[in-house]
Each structure stands twice: as structure tokens, then as C-alpha cells.
Chains A and B, each alone.
Chain A
Amino acid sequence: MPAKEIVHFKTNIYEYLEALPKATQERLYRESATCLAIFRLLPSLAKHFVNALLFVEDPFLKKDLEQWIKPKGASKFEESWEKLSRLHILAEKEGYIIMNKTFRENYRNCLTGGGEHQSFGVPPSSKDKHRPENTIEYLDSYAKKQWESILHYMVGTRTKRPGRGVVNLLTESGLMAERHEGDEDPQITNKGFQFLLQDINTQVWAFLLQYLELAGKEKNPQSNYPSNKILKMDLVEVLNFYFLLGSLELGQDYSIDQLTPTQQQLIEDLAYYGLVYRRKKSSRRYYPTRLATTLTSGTMSFTKQHPGNIINPLAVKDMPTEQGFIILETNYKLYAYTNSQLQISVLNLFCELTGRYSNMVTGKLSRDSARKALMSGITANQIISYLTSHAHPQMKQKSPVLPLTVIDQIRLWEMERNRLQDTDAFLYTEFKSERDFNSILDHAYKLGIIIWANKAKRMFAVTEDGHPQIREFIKKRMKKNGPQAGGSSSKS
């Protein structure tokens, strides 16, 4: 994982789709369910355009489309247009708008019910004899149990270790990392902590996207996946299945016979995450859970099939989380009104918990506890933003929300850890003349590779990557000026 990504931990399916090559997008549009799901992800103005143009066969001028927009809406128009064209749904050609043929055809099919019907999942022909009672409640609790077990594992609650596949996914995606060689369990990282702060829909998507990334990779002989797991799956099939799940109905069972082999393999893993429920591995049917059916109807869209339950499917049970429950005092003492094991475990990452009562825990922020969190890569800002966003309503009335002394101290604890910075470098010394030194230094500055320089001492240090460039530059200079102008021995 490049370090850059850890900072911008963005997990938007939309961004992912946009970055796909045109040919892959084209293949995605062959499934009606996918077309519908992508449509749901669009901004509302873009949806409007797609619907308006869907059944227009004649060429349509882009200028005419622009006419629909009031002048002050121009920026929204641009945004929507940009998104549609990046997804290659709409394109402009000689002033006319062209809609992607595959998308048009399949999206139409999806609206009119034409074409092949497998796209939205097929219920099995027989009735499920083992259908769980109170199916929906059962599925909800199953999903919650599975998903929270992953989160619990991340925050280090020593409950049940999730399957090997999950652990691998967590480490490969950088959400957790082995701190010490040979550790039994990896520890949460900075990125993982950021992950915990997201709402559940975003988390699920983040997880699925990571899965996708790994699934698409060539099989790496060194990687320790069980040999038949996650290897070189077809991205399109995986994505199609994600989107299919988003359009299934909660409480209904579906047959796996229509799925491709890749998707059948995929479903096993998704059952682990709690997105689908299967009674046993050999079962020919599956039930999507709420985690799956709300995939494409999350906060991004306004479709309301199950009003109230959409934004955060497990919100009912997480009520205190929504309200905020943490009180932090200027003496570093912390009171958290929660009985959620998960929230307590999150707090335990950077707090010293001292007491637990039926509806609250008490604890204290200390140098040691903060350092423990900082050492595993969680930043001071993440701790502060966690505390702020989960602050008790009474704390939120104050401004600033958290006591300044504590915030400052957390930041100081972080700075204290970074008292020493090291950069691998090459140090250049013993320049014969000031002129030589200055011209080489100028050149190095232009390349932007200088770490440190001192004119009086006639010394400078460049990055490791920059070293060959400087060596070349000095050699060239020597040749030009003749050997007598000052030899160079560049030894490393």
C-alpha cells in the first residue's frame, strides 16, 4: 500500500468505477442490475439527464441540454456532465450527445422488464425447508454478528478470530499490520482506525473494494492465501455481483445456480462478512442481508424502499453512538456512556479504562495509553476527531467541544515521538572551489533533491534517489572543464 493512500483513505465505489478503463465499464453495463445500481449512484441532476435521454432515439444537441439549466445551476450541470462522461455513459460528439449503447439497452431492459431476467437474481424453484424463522430479524442479527466480529477483531477484543481470509484481507489492505515478526495477531493501523470511524455502509464498501483489489491481482506465489481462495477473479463478475446484491430483496432467498463460478466462490467470502447468509457451504441458495441490500441505496441516493432503516442498517442498536456518549474532563478523566463492547474496545485503544458499570465506562487518558495508540500508527488528530465526533451532547454545547489542555497534550505526546527524523542520504563534501559548489548546489536545488546544505562548510546532502543525477552532473561538468578543473571521486 503506498503511504499516500493511508492519508487519503477514501473508499468510494464511485471513484473506483470512474478509474476503470472504458472497456471494463462497457462490460459492466451488460448487466441490467449493474446499470440500475450505477444509475442510483449518480447525482440527482445526472439521473434526470439519463432518464430524459434514455428513450430519445434522435440525436440530441448538448446545447439544448444546457438550456434546461438555470444560469446559477451551471456548476451542478458541469459536475453531473463530468461524472456521466467519466463513466462513459454520455459522450459528446460534434455537439450531439451520445448515450452508451450497452448502457442504454440494458438500463431500458431493467426499467421495462425486457431482456434476460437473471440479472436481478433468481429465486430457487423449491421452497426452503430450513428457512430461518422471523427471517428478517434473523438475517439482521446474523449480519451484525458477522460484521461486528470483524470490527472486534480489528480493535483487538480477544473474542473469536475471524477466518483466515478476513485476516489476510485486513493485513493486505493495510487496515492491520503485524507489529512484530511472528506475532500471532496483527494490530490495528492508522488506516484501520480511520476505517472504524466511518459509518457502516462506507465500511462495507471499503471492505468490498479492498477485496476487489486483491481478487483482481495475479496470484502471488509468496502470498499465503489458501490455494483456491481469492485469485485472479474477474473484476467485472465481482462488481456485477456486488451490484446484484444491492438490488435483491431482504428476506427473499435466491438460487446460486445462475451465478458464475467466480461468483459462487465470492459468495463464500461474503457470507463470512455477513453480507449474505447461507445455512451451510453446500447450500444451493442464499439470503442477502441488510448489509448487502443497502449497498447501492445508502446515503448517496434517495430511493426509499425501507424508510428509516437505510442510512445505517444497524443504527437501531447503536443509538448511543449516534448521539455521542463521551465526556472528557480537563483532568484527562473520561466517562463514556455506552455499553457497546465495540465502542469500549475502540476507547481502549488510546485510553486507560479503569472502571466499567452497566451503562458506562470510566477511564483516563495518559501518556502511556496515548503513546500505545500513537505507536500503532493512530494519529493525534484521529484520536481528537474521534473524541469530538462522539462527544456527549452536553460537551457539544461548549466551544471548543473538548478541553483545550487535553487536546494540546495529545498533540504534544505525538510530537514528542517524532523528535528524531531520519532520511537516507548522500553527503557531498570537499568541493574545490566555491564556483563548483554553487553551480552543483543550484542544479540539485532545481531537481528538488536537497535535504540539507551549508554554503560556509561547502557541504550538501541529497536524497538517495537524487544521487545518480548529481553524480552524472558532476561527471559532465568535469569533462567540459577538462580534468584539471577538479577531479571527482564519487564513492558510495
Chain B
Amino acid sequence: MVKAVKGTILKCDPAVKQVILSMNNSEREPFIIEDLDETHLFVDTAHVERIKRRVEQLLEENTYKIEQLDPKQ
């Protein structure tokens, strides 16, 4: 029986994929429909914007910034 599911494909590097996976596991309602391969995930479209924001935020937290050394106002 062929099945077609609507959703969104996320293409990313393996590191980001792991971030998304851990996000998925820590949530009450998992949004990943199918784990396709190393660099692709199939997820619920409704969550895409939220995932993007969260990934952005996580990456931002993990960036080394030289400015932090300067006494900025």
C-alpha cells in the first residue's frame, strides 16, 4: 500500500541534524515524521519556523565572539 504524507524536508549538515534530533526527543510532541538520512529529515510543516528559530538560537549560543572580550556598553 503506497502512502503519501505531506510535510517538509529539512536539509542540513549532520551536526545541525543532531541538534534537531535532540530537540525532538526533549519535546512532548515529536515533530519528526521520518528520519531520512545523515543530512535529511522529514518533519511536520507546522513546526518548521520554530525549529529554524531554535536552531539559530542554539548555534548563536555556541558561537565564540571576540566582541565579548571588549567592554561593550
A interface residues with partner B (beta carbon < 8 Å): 366-368, 416, 419-432, 436, 440, 451-452, 454, 457, 459, 461, 464, 467, 470-471, 474, 486-492
Within 8 A of A (CB), among B23-57: 33-34, 36-37, 40, 42, 45, 48, 51-52, 55
Is there an interface contact between B4 and A367, defined as CB atoms closer than 8 Å? no
The answer to whether A461 touches B42, judged by C-beta atoms less than 8 angstroms apart, is yes
Residues in B neighbouring A430, C-beta threshold 8 A: 1-3
> Please, which residues of chain A bring their CB within 8 A of the CB of B55?
419-420
A461: contacting residue among B9, B12, B16, B48, CB under 8 A: B9
Closest to A462 in B: B4
Inter-subunit contact B34/A422 (CB<8 Å): no
Binding site for A on B (CB under 8 A): 1-13, 16, 33-34, 36-37, 40, 42, 45, 48, 51-52, 55, 59, 63, 65-67
Return the chain B residue nearest A425 by Cβ: B9
From known contacts A367-B63, A427-B42, infer whether A420 and B10 are also in contact, taking CB-CB under 8 Å.
Answer: yes
Known contacts A425-B42, A454-B36; A492/B6 CB under 8 A: yes
Q: Is the CB of B12 within 8 A of A421?
A: yes
Count how many pairs of residues, one from A and one from B, have CB atoms less than 8 Å apart in the complex. Answer: 102
Query: How far, in Å, is A407 (CB) from chain B's closest CB?
Result: 18
Closest to B15 in A: A419
Q: Contacts A419-B55, A420-B16 known; A490 to B9 CB distance under 8 Å?
A: no
Specify the chain B residue showing the minimal Cβ separation from A364: B67
Contact of A488 among B1, B33, B40 (CB under 8 A): B1
Q: In the complex, are the beta carbons of B2 and A422 less than 8 A apart?
A: no
A478 to B: closest C-beta gap in Å = 9
**Complex-state Cα separation, A420 to B9, whole angstroms:** 10
Question: Which of A422, A424, A471, A492 has the most CB atoms of chain B within a 10 A radius of its CB?
Answer: A422
**Candidates B33, B36, B45, B52; contact of A424 at CB < 8 Å:** B45
Residues of A with C-beta under 8 A to B10? 420-422
Apart from A420-B16, A486-B2, list 15 A-B contacts with CB within 8 A.
A368-B67, A419-B13, A421-B11, A422-B10, A424-B7, A426-B6, A427-B5, A427-B42, A436-B2, A459-B36, A467-B6, A489-B2, A490-B3, A491-B3, A491-B5
Q: Which has the most chain A C-beta neighbours within 10 Å: B1, B45, B66?
A: B1
Known: A427-B34, A454-B36. A487 touches B9 (CB 8 A): no
